């Protein structure tokens, strides 16, 4: 980690972004809460109304699976938001976690949760391609 990080003043550049992340996190939490409530309601309803047949059972299974994978997506989103907020607080947001160089504005605009610069990302993807053969 280079000393360049410490030279950057705790930044007003990212105030808008912080607010955006906090708003987004509230939305995500609302989605998660909603899904958890829905899951509980589904389970109660299904307990009271036993499945009619295999097909009914299968459709319940698939809607439960769907709900769980949605929940997983939102949960990951919340983790990314938390990480970005932590990096903002530490003053490491916007710097590559591998080489410590600033990540370009264009990249951050496209990918607000990017943790690496485009060069390091390319190296990582190159290694993954090699690993995959
Ligand atoms: Zn880098």
| pTM greater than 0.85 (yes/no) | no
- The set of residues, in sequence order, having a beta carbon less than 8 Å from that of 77 and lying 6+ positions away, is 28
Task: Pick out the chain residues at pLDDT < 70.
Answer: 1-13
User: pLDDT per residue over 74-94, tens digit each?
Assistant: 999 999 999 999 998 888 899
Pair 28, 55 in one domain? yes
- 27 CA distance to ligand 1 centroid (A)? 31
- 19 CA distance to ligand 1 centroid (A)? 26
Pair 6, 41 in one domain? yes
- 96 CA distance to ligand 1 centroid (A)? 5
Domain that holds residue 32: 1-93
Pair 12, 68 in one domain? yes
3-state secondary structure of 58: helix
- 116 CA distance to ligand 1 centroid (A)? 5
- 95 CA distance to ligand 1 centroid (A)? 8
Tally of structural domains, the chain: 2
So what's the pLDDT on residue 31?
A: 97
What's the per-residue H, E or C state across 89-120?
A: HHCCCCECCCCCCECCHHHHHHCCCCCCCHHH
How far is residue 10's CA from residue 40's CA, in Å, rounded to a whole number? Answer: 43
Pair 51, 101 in one domain? no
- 21 CA distance to ligand 1 centroid (A)? 23
Pair 4, 66 in one domain? yes
């Amino acid at each position: 980690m280079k000393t360049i990080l410490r030279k950057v003043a705790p930044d007003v550049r990212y105030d808008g972004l912080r607010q955006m992340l906090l708003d987004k996190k509230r939305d995500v939490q609302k989605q998660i809460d909603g899904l958890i409530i829905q899951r509980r309601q589904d389970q109660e309803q299904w307990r009271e109304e036993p499945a009619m047949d295999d097909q009914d059972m299968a459709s319940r299974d698939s809607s439960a699976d769907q709900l769980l994978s949605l929940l997983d997506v939102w949960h990951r989103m919340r983790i990314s938001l938390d990480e970005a907020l932590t990096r903002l607080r530490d003053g490491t947001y916007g710097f590559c976690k591998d080489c410590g160089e600033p990540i370009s504005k264009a990249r951050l605009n496209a990918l607000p949760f990017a943790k690496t610069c485009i060069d390091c990302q390319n190296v990582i993807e190159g290694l993954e391609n090699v690993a995959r053969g």
